[in-house]
Amino acid sequence: MFSSLEQGEFVAVTSTITMTELLVHPYRDYDLQRVNELAGLLSIYPNLDWIPGTLAIAILAAEIRANHRLATPDALQAATALHANATGLLTNDPIFKRVPGLDVLVLDDYL
């Protein structure tokens, strides 16, 4: 998710659920070194703001989930993007195109 910072500058924003999703496979593989590498890198990544879940985001996610049939993690991602006024959502999952108000860029469309 991208939001405009100042003239020509952008900041990436993401839900804290992103960290949860990214760490599942390393934890399943008992790869604690990979867990620490990912968590360490992403927690200090420049121009990346982590948006924690809030009640407002949860309510919006429920509406998105109900109206557009997204799974809960995807609905939370979409709600976070909308809540943060993101100007784009970078993903490899075209399901996000179901959500009005999101400018979705699917990586496979550009590779």
pLDDT in tens, 59-105: 999 999 999 999 999 999 999 999 999 988 999 999 999 999 999 99
Domain chopping of the chain, boundaries: 2-16+47-109
Q: Is the dihedral of CA 103, 78, 2, 5 positive or negative?
A: positive
For 103, the token pair is 């400018």
Q: Please, which pLDDT band fits residue 109 given cuts at 50, 70 and 90?
A: confident
* DSSP secondary structure letters along 63-109: HHHHHH---HHHHHHHHHHHHTT-SBEEES-GGGGGSTT--EEEGGG
Q: Does the predicted TM-score (pTM) go above 0.75?
A: yes
